[in-house]
Structure 1
Amino acid sequence: MKVFIVVALMLSLISALNQVSNLKTQVGQVCESTGYISINEFDVEPWTPVAATSSIITIQAMFNKPDIGVGVITYGTLNSFQQWIYEYQLVNSAFPQYSIQTFQYVIYWPSAPGNYVTQVTLGGINVPPSIDACWIISYSLTAGMNSTSS
């Protein structure tokens, strides 16, 4: 009986550590979209952004409707001067309904100190194009130290 309790406690601890590990990198929040695609996970590694470096963004998305695909994933960053800078990831693929797909991208963080917002949109393959999923993160870059806002 004691062995069973110890094993159960160890499994609970491992599960809790995995959840804490995910919380360290899952940042930001969902933003307005059609909802045809749901973002289940949005991870940034390493997180917190450091000026003039890069991170890997991993997006896990579920396709909620039939005949839905992703044309382009757009990574738009709004700087302190209210200027948008865009990076694009071409996908151009349709995916089965209820399938879960993972997309990865290396994003390059700005080099200037300031407050930033990065919005990631999964654009549909339909004409006219639509924003089928959206995620937004905000962060601050300071000289020598970096901190997150959300």
Structure 2
Amino acid sequence: MILTLEKLKTEYANKGFDLSLDFKHRLKDQTLMYDIDLVRVTGQVQFLQSRYVHFDLNIETTLTLPCAITLKPVSYPLSFKIEEDVSETSDAEYMIVEDKINLGDIIWGAIIPMIPMQVYAEDAPRDLYEEEPKVNEVFAQLKDHFDKK
């Protein structure tokens, strides 16, 4: 979702955000998730300067992720807050380009690091793949030494 600075000032600066964004088109470019529900974005936007914008946003969605053991789909609710500054300078992670801000890139960029490394289906046999603890040979000799005393 690309927003102009004018639209941000006139529509969102006073009343805030309450948007639903669809990111299903981005699923074909990644393998981290099977599906993503509509993303609800609420929050505020402030103009700290005429071309320096501060977003304070709440993000909620549900991801469908692969189980780490069975690859079955697992529903994973996601809810978090972000604060992001956008300007024309290179100091900001996201920049104003031609009086426009890509809010979709900001939201997607916040969702990706929030995806857990592993999720498990309720019926996944977790104990099948656990390795037995290995004892380092050096420490195994010490164990016998202390048992003798």
User: Which TM-score applies when normalising by structure 1?
Assistant: 0.37
Richer in strand (by share): 1
User: Which TM-score applies when normalising by structure 2?
Assistant: 0.37
Choose 1 or 2 for highest CA Rg: 2
Richer in helix (by share): 2
